[in-house]
Structure 1
Amino acid sequence: MPKNLSVTPARSWKTAATLTIAAALGVVLTTGIATASPAFAGSDGRSASVGATTFTVNPTDAEAALESARVAISDADTAVFDAKNTDVDLSAVKTQIDTSALLGTITNLENANSPSVLLMPALMATASEQTEQVSAQAAALRGQLDAAVEKKAAEEAAAKAAKAAAAKAAAEKAARASSNTPDGARAAAQQIAAADYGWGGDQFSCLNSLWQKESGWNYQAYNPSGATGIPQALPGSKMSSAGADWQSNAVTQIRWGLGYIQDVYGSPCAAWGHSQAVNWY
């Protein structure tokens, strides 16, 4: 014979209600419970006993379980939507999250306007477990999406940097080729003399005369004495202090030559005057 289960309020009720549950084989029948909206709003906690076992339902806890479940569903939907609509490669990532079980549990909880104190604990436990599973899957998908986005951004930044480096190298090569001509070397020397030493047109006129006499502004000029390049450094290897490419780069030779003039003579016109007087500088 099934035992009769009587339910009594844990505290005063606004609406009197009686719940009779036939507990044999787990069958539960509910009658006379007022409907609340939302699912458990306005309800008080209830307790019931089967033998020595007491069950308690807290409507606030039930609403909290529902809210957590809804948030998990929303987060999962958003993660899946973002993953499907991204322009990054997620071909190796599972972009589906099965929320059907949790949706079913949510429905059961929402429909339990007069919650059975025997079934609610199990429903809430199931909702909690399923919520954790869906939340974990959503977090994992979000993490994979974020990682893929970061990877793509890093790859694009690296490609951009490589392109910029290639463009810079090409520009430097072109500038070097240009400056390695006599006219290009003169232009480079005039710019460097003004920017680095503050020497204006009068000093450059002296410099132009000096190096025209020494090398004709030819970076490949070589004297049997060992004097090399535009400034006729002796020996030419001295110019390595301005750059390892001193043999092939007129600008490197110019930088060394201007530094030499500054250190020894103080200015191009002083160096040119010395050269005119003794035929060397």
Structure 2
Amino acid sequence: MRALLEGNRVSRISVRGFAVASATAVTTVGAVVGVASGDPQQHTSNDFEATAGDATLLADIPSGQQAQVQTASLTQQADAQATAADTAAKKSAEETARKQAAESAKAKQKAAEQAEAKAKAEKKAKEQAKKDAEKRESSTVSRSSTRDAGDFPVQSSYSIAEVQAMARQIVPADQFQCFSNIVNHESTWNYTATNPSSGSYGLVQALPASKMASAGADWRTNPATQIKWGLGYMNDRYQSPCGAWSFWQANHYY
């Protein structure tokens, strides 16, 4: 019977834990002393009675079994601590994974933006290279005139039809209309036209007029010399007569 009772006591103490049992035992000792001295408050406490009962059970446990109770209590504490540690570790791992996922997403977005910017830059560079090649080709064509100014006989005067015929033989065919448009607006094909306010002169209204001397000393009287100089000016400044005409249309000068 006593063995059964002791087994039950061990079970109860192990559930509550050794720490609680020890505290209860200390409380019980104090309570017993209080009763012996006639302290009514200690004697009437319900908590005291329950605690005293638990402490009595601990006292009744043989010393060998008390060690088992202590071990069980420590095991429970260790299990609780391990569970708490596992929970904290899991939470930390989840937070780390979340941060890594966010950083990875940012890195991918940045890489995509850089790739897009690079593609745009390459496309723009190709388009610019194509335009530059077209300009060079156009400039080359414009410079390859069929005849030079010196190929035409010098006359004392020239009609508009004669001047235009000379221009058709000097200016490349695909650039002639643009050249003609500019000359028509600047001088109406009058190779002696003079602007009284600025001093610009000739078919293309060179300013100062003396610049045309680079094409020939007879620039005042020879329309072929003026055509040669005008064509060179348009090629150098606007890549071609059509380039000059585009600028003229936007600004009304060139």
Asked if Structure 1 and Structure 2 have the same fold, meaning a TM-score greater than 0.5 normalized by the shorter chain, the answer is no
Q: Which has the higher contact order (CA 8 A, sep 6+)?
A: 2
Question: In proportion to residue count, which structure has more helix?
Answer: 2
Question: In proportion to residue count, which structure has more strand?
Answer: 1
TM-score by length of 1: 0.35
TM-score by length of 2: 0.38
